[in-house]
Amino acid sequence: MATIAATNKSNSGRYGAPELKQYIKTSTWRSFLGALGLFALIIGSYAVSQSMANAEDVKFMAPPVKLKLSQLPPPPSANDAAPPMPPPPSEVVIASGPAARAGTPVPVPDAMIPEDIQDFANVDEIARATAEGGDEDFSGFGDNDGFGEVQLDIAPEVVEEPDAFEFIPVEKEPYIDLGELQRKVKYPPIAQRAGLEGSVVIRVLIDVDGKPKKHLVQQSDNEVFNEAAVAAVMSSVFTPAIQNQQPIQCWVSIPITFKLRN
């Protein structure tokens, strides 16, 4: 027991607080000196790199040249003067006909008129014709020009009829009052006696004047109604279709209903 107590006492004296404080103090100074050295190394490296960059810039600069007045080249002599500029090109005049001269026109005697234009009226004939009471007749002038009356045969414009089921873009489609058209339909007597009812759809081509031009039976419940439906549609007048503010030919489907009154 005495030996253990002596050992603990010796260890506590060797590894006590004074040794820890001294160790902390020494480590702090070492860390500070290390950080200071690292900082100095970084600053030194930056300074060296800047000095090397400035040295490279200076190396590529042209060295200054010193000139004396005695070394200047002599001024250019008269023989070394620049050659004179060439003269401007001369103006080129293109003849485009006789020059126009202003003034009062002078009548030319008939004897000086060339033979190829003597068919025209002379000065005296023109004066007599324009004078008051002149009896000269110049209706014959211009008859020998070689051009007679020209008959122009202009064929009338042929407008192609559209197909019955072709799509035609229009601003307004053909129109008719279906109620008024329905009142024009005559009920077939045979269908009336048999008590038959149904409907017929007539596909009709409306001309530019609104009159039906062609037709076909598009749909029919019973053929006995076809003739009466076609007769009512073809005897009516429609409002024509409008395209680009102009009437055009256009197909339209018209339903006709046959129904007995109760």
Instruction: Work out the pLDDT band at 159, boundaries 50, 70, 90.
Output: confident
pLDDT digits (tens, 9 = 90+) for 1-45: 455 444 455 554 455 688 888 888 888 988 989 898 898 899 988
Architecture in CATH for domain 178-258: 2-Layer Sandwich (3.30)
CB 205 within 8 A of CB 232: no
CB atoms < 10 A from the CB of 163, how many? 10
Scan for tokens 């007995």, then name that residue. 260
How far apart, in whole angstroms, are the C-alpha atoms of residue 202 and residue 255?
6
Position 228 scores a pLDDT of 94
Please indicate whether residue 18 or residue 190 has the higher confidence score (pLDDT): 190
Query: In the beta sheet, which residues pair with residue 258?
Result: 198
pLDDT: which is higher, 114 or 141:
114
Closest CA to 212 of 254, 153, 150: 254
Q: Which of 208, 229, 207, 235 is nearest to 217 (CA)?
A: 229
> 225: Cβ–Cβ under 8 A, 6 or more apart, which residues?
188, 191, 196, 198, 199, 200, 256, 258
84 φ/ψ angles, rounded to the nearest 5 degrees: -65, 155
What confidence tier does 185 reach under pLDDT thresholds 50, 70, 90? very high
Which tokens hold the place of 191?
């269908």
The answer, yes or no, to whether residue 188 has pLDDT greater than 70, is yes
Model confidence at 102: pLDDT above 80: no
pLDDT band at 110; cut points 50, 70, 90: low
* Residue 203 CA: distances (Å) to CA of 158, 163, 237, 238: 23, 11, 15, 13
Per domain, the residue ranges of the chain are: 8-61, 178-258
CA distance 156 to 137: 41
Task: Report which DSSP code applies to 13.
Answer: H
pTM over 0.75: no
pLDDT score, position 224: 94
The model's pLDDT over 68-89, given as tens digits with 9 standing for 90+, comes to 666 666 776 656 556 677 777 7
Judge whether residue 62 has pLDDT over 70.
no
User: How many CB atoms sit inside 10 A of residue 220's CB?
Assistant: 16
For range 111-121, the mean pLDDT: 63
pLDDT at residue number 45: 87
Closest by CA to 160, choosing from 212, 205, 211, is: 205
pLDDT for 85 equals 74
